[in-house]
Amino acid sequence: MILVIAAIIAAIILVEFNKRQNTKAGDSSHITADVQQLYLLKAAEHKIEVIEDLQKNAANTNNTIVTSIEQELTRLTGAFEKGDIKLKEFNLKLDNLLSNLDVNNSLAQAS
């Protein structure tokens, strides 16, 4: 009889311990999501800086290309600030813009 009571008490203790561990794991996933958002935001800032630097150094590039990229960058940042696009999508579009600018830059240097 004593063993049955001890087993029940041990089971209750294990269940409570498991609940506390699950609660702690849930809290850390929220922190992880915040850190990921912070990294994405920092990456977006860096990409914008690189795009602006490439535009300044693009003396040989066609002015219409630079102007269209400036307009696209302005449109993207405005949409992000309004909340029309999410941070992940904003980063992807900045990647595309950066690759387009890099391709146009290398084509201008080759000619």
CA distances for 11 relative to 8, 17, 18, angstroms: 5, 10, 10
61 closest CA partner among 100, 24, 8, 22: 100
Q: What is the domain range of residue 17?
A: 2-110
Predicted pLDDT at 98 = 85
Residue 111 has pLDDT above 50, yes or no: no
pLDDT for position 107: 47
Is-contact 69 97, C-beta < 8 A? Answer: yes
Give the model confidence (pLDDT) of 36-71 as tens digits: 888 989 999 999 898 888 777 765 566 777 788 888
Number of domains in the chain: 1
